[in-house]
Structure 1
Amino acid sequence: MKPPTALLPPGFTVELNRTVTVRDQGRSLVGGSPTRAIYLSRAAASMFAGRRLAVDRAGSGALVDKLLEIGMADPVLDTLPAADESDVTYVVPTYGRPQSLDRLLASIGPHKSVIVVDDASPDPSEARRIAAAAGARFIALPKNLGPAGARNAGLRLVHTTYVVFVDNDMVVTDGAVATLLRHFVDPRVALVAPRVIGLQLSTRVNWISRYEDARSSLDLGPTPATVRPRARVSWVSTAFVVARVEALGAGFNDGMRVGEDVDLVWTLVEQGWRVRYEPAATSAHEHRVTLSDWAKRKAFYGTGGHALALRHPGNIAPAILAPWSVGVIVALLAQRAWSVPLALGISAVAAVRISRKLSRHEHPLRIGIKLTATGVAASLSQTMALLTRHWWPIAVLGSIVSRRVRQATIAAAVLDVVLDYRRTKPQLDIVRFGIARRADDLAYGAGLWLGALRGHSTAALRPDIRGRR
């Protein structure tokens, strides 16, 4: 279903996010996700109050909408009106784990509309008892459908405007749903997700749990974002989300047992809906802390790449590179005396060519250099990920026969750990963090390759090299 054509309401206010640099007396904006430069008319630039822009005059609504779409601005949360929490139904898919279900329902609280969908557990009686004690409606499926099918079974029984999907290994924190609901004042918002943090359980603390607290696959960081393919935040987990029921249609793809959340998000975006990530709201997840369970889950996530590549060609690419940035990477990987000068030369040419497209800006070359530097940094980061995560089987084989491949792979593996350790500041020493980081990538990469081999396709493994900037 396509979103309504309704405009953003008067008073809706956004603020340029930290990625954006303002130049030329407010007429040039450089940033967003992915990074770009836009040029405003004097009238448009005059609508801003500092870095904020409100929908309060002709044309401002269209500009606000554009800034949201390209990831340059985010809604100012405390200016958004509160929503009616009574117009929400919770759908809880569950399979076993009755103690976790009991904990979740207690965190949701009393007097809420809750549907518990048992996905053909071997013995659903305990889940039925717990749901009844919490005042929740209980549905037992005759056969196991997986998370997508179980959520859809619950969705078909929802009669409220909004639905909260929440897995039974989650805990709903106070105020999270109310915070997420604020975003639905934007009529194009279909789904909003909170930040997922680790559930603190004193009996389950070890080096894996400390790594997950800092580097969980579900934790998308402290910065709000518009969620869309190829952006800084390109997906959100549906372990806990609030969604507009009319936007979901039939819901998740029943045939997907992994990656169904990514598929839903990308389908909504393709239809014209907006998806938001709001870290001001948090929810807690019970991480896997035994090495075998943790590694299997990481590999399981990786196997979903093949199906996503078939349903959303290009969006799952492990790297997105411009031809000139490929030249820079190849030059640096060659590790010759001429590598750095050649890489600098290619970057300089790219900066000049980009600046020629920015003639309306007062300092086109300066902006061109910034965009090029950002592109080089992103390309280096993606190359490190290719060597240590997506293409590690190739990197290992290459390291056996090539000293340069071996040096590049080792450098990428070490530098990635150092940078990530500084960024995440885990409650863990760097050695064990590094071991967990590399094991994380090895497991995910193994799952990615397994999915590709099963599907007889390399679509999820191929980088996307695009000529247009």
Structure 2
Amino acid sequence: MRVILDAEVRRSANGRVLLGGSPPRVLRLSESGSRLLDAWLVGAVVTNEARALARRLLDAGLAHPAVGPTDVPANTKSSVTLVVPVRDNHTGLAALLAAIQDSLHTVVVDDASAVPIPAATHRHHRRRGPAAARNTGWHSATTEFVAFLDSDVVPRGDWLGSILPLFDDPRVAAVAPRVRTRANGAIGRYESRRSALDMGPVPAAVRPHGRVRYVPSAALVVRVAALAAIGGFEESLRFGEDVDLVWRLHATGYSIRYQPDSTVHHQPRDTVAAFARQRYDYGTSAAALARRHPGLLHPAYLSPVTAAPGLLALTAHPVTAAVPILATTLRLARTVHRQGVPLPAALSFAANRERMVLQQWTIALRRAWWPLALCTRRGRRLLLAVHLASATTMSLDPICALLRVVDDSAYGLGVWAGCLRERTLAPLLPRVRIRKRRRA
């Protein structure tokens, strides 16, 4: 195994202090640890004796596994079975199978299509949902790995070439490629910038409170033994079954990786109504997931200090929210600076932490909390300002900016509907953590 530092990690204090990771942190290395990292960054292989440090960096999101063009993985395509769940999408399935070109053993599961799928290996006579279709598929696999691809995605190039080497680490249970959308039409143009399935260009360890919290099962390669260990997909979940699977794998002690060097393309919805319905459906899964995974699906995770700016913005003049933000930033920067980090780097690190907290507030306001914001004039003004700031930051054209509003609003309505159905408020309430003081 070889490793590389995350692109946003900074080294200070003669290379012995790392700033970054997911969530952001300050990690001090020993002198020997710093020398090991120096060697890894110029291509040295991680030895068994140094694997503990490498795992610590990987788990913290400070480093990622490196896959080079000359790497020969222990696992090959012959160890992979492709599983495709499909319902009524004859055209999409044909495009997917044409792209695969018989390079993989393929299992197609027809989930009760109105017109039966001729290429189906298995057929459900009544609709059971994508989770059940995937379970039917992987249960028939005799290989070590299964690659799940939905019928509306098409892999590009040697998409498994940068995924399979990551499974050389026996702790890795699943690896997901990047899901891109072609910028065709208004919806495609929007989703090419901000798709719910696209986790971005940076590799990541996938974990509930990390930068990448989940990966979609639209394209996911999984170790069969890990699937068997947790019982596969939860068939009672119509939506969010992929989030549930990833979080259960993580809770069992497995590692899940996001590998954007591998790419598949996804076909977006054809109409705004279908697009909004998809986002609404995604939102309805939040309450069921919150019940299955207590504490992991709140709209924001705060401390009393980080909660103050949002409360001030909602209850007083928004400018007053800048006071605790500035104070917290300076206090954290001073703490980091005392660990030997140059002041500019310490300020940058602290400002990034505060930016992430502010981002939690704005996302929650646009999505889960927007119905409440509409109830007051101050709330409506703040909601409008947040949407305008979001469109400006992403450089969205007017049509895409409106689609962003549709996206967030539909998802939020789905969250509320799911909460009513499941009789829980967890996906609507922030979680405020209060640290207990240690007694002397």
The verdict on a shared fold, with TM-score over 0.5 as the criterion, is yes
- Partner in structure 1 of residue 405 of structure 2: 438
Structure 1 residues 295 and 47: alpha-carbon distance in aligned structure 2, compared to 1, 3 A threshold: same
CA contact (8 A) 1:165 1:241 kept: yes
Matches within 5 A, 1:166-205: 166-199=149-182, 205=184
C-alpha distance in 2 between matches for 1:27 and 1:416:
37
SS in 1 for 2:163: helix
- Partner in structure 2 of residue 467 of structure 1: 434
Indicate which of 91, 100, 105 corresponds to 1:99.
91
SS in 2 for 1:406: helix
Most deviating of 363-372 and 439-448: 363-372
SS in 2 for 1:25: coil
Matches within 5 A, 1:110-259: 110=102, 112-124=104-116, 127-128=117-118, 130-131=119-120, 138-199=121-182, 205-249=184-228, 250-259=231-240
- Partner in structure 2 of residue 372 of structure 1: 350
C-alpha distance in 1 between matches for 2:243 and 2:190:
23
- Partner in structure 1 of residue 387 of structure 2: 413
CA contact (8 A) 1:328 1:346 kept: no
- Partner in structure 1 of residue 368 of structure 2: 390
- Partner in structure 2 of residue 18 of structure 1: 7
Deviations 1:30-58 (A, max 9, x none): 10000001111111111123772744446
Indicate which of 309, 317, 321 corresponds to 1:335.
317
CA contact (8 A) 2:182 2:189 kept: no
How far did 1:405 drift? 2.6
User: Is 2:249 aligned against 1:268?
Assistant: yes
- Partner in structure 1 of residue 76 of structure 2: 84
C-alpha distance in 1 between matches for 2:323 and 2:415:
36
C-alpha distance in 1 between matches for 2:26 and 2:185:
45
Partner amino acid for 2:204?
Answer: A
Partner amino acid for 2:153?
Answer: M
How far did 1:260 drift? 0.3
SS in 2 for 1:377: helix
Deviations 1:178-206 (A, max 9, x none): 22112111111111111111257xxxx42
Residue segments in structure 1 that go unaligned for 5+ positions in a row: 1-11, 132-137, 422-428
Structure 1 residues 37 and 370: alpha-carbon distance in aligned structure 2, compared to 1, 3 A threshold: same
Cα RMSD between the aligned structures? 2.2
Structure 1 residues 225 and 336: alpha-carbon distance in aligned structure 2, compared to 1, 3 A threshold: closer
C-alpha distance in 2 between matches for 1:66 and 1:35:
14
- Partner in structure 1 of residue 19 of structure 2: 30
C-alpha distance in 1 between matches for 2:403 and 2:304:
33
Indicate which of 270, 277, 280 corresponds to 1:299.
280
Partner amino acid for 1:198?
Answer: T
SS in 2 for 1:460: helix
Partner amino acid for 1:229?
Answer: P
Deviations 1:242-265 (A, max 9, x none): 111111112101111100000001
Partner amino acid for 1:292?
Answer: A
How far did 1:336 drift? 6.7
Partner amino acid for 1:15?
Answer: I
SS in 2 for 1:194: strand
Structure 1 residues 339 and 17: alpha-carbon distance in aligned structure 2, compared to 1, 3 A threshold: closer
SS in 2 for 1:178: coil
CA contact (8 A) 1:192 1:241 kept: yes
What is the total number of aligned residue pairs between the two structures?
A: 430
CA contact (8 A) 1:324 1:350 kept: no
SS in 1 for 2:174: strand
Indicate which of 41, 63, 67 corresponds to 2:30.
41
- Partner in structure 2 of residue 109 of structure 1: 101
CA contact (8 A) 2:12 2:342 kept: no
Structure 1 residues 387 and 23: alpha-carbon distance in aligned structure 2, compared to 1, 3 A threshold: same
Partner amino acid for 1:31?
Answer: G
Deviations 1:332-378 (A, max 9, x none): 442177554454335444555x55xx86x224977764443222211
Most deviating of 320-329 and 182-191: 320-329
Structure 1 residues 50 and 435: alpha-carbon distance in aligned structure 2, compared to 1, 3 A threshold: farther
Structure 1 residues 48 and 117: alpha-carbon distance in aligned structure 2, compared to 1, 3 A threshold: same
Structure 1 residues 140 and 40: alpha-carbon distance in aligned structure 2, compared to 1, 3 A threshold: same
CA contact (8 A) 1:388 1:395 kept: no
C-alpha distance in 2 between matches for 1:111 and 1:380:
46
Partner amino acid for 1:303?
Answer: T
User: Is 2:301 aligned against 1:320?
Assistant: yes
Most deviating of 42-51 and 302-311: 42-51
Identical aligned residues as a percent:
37
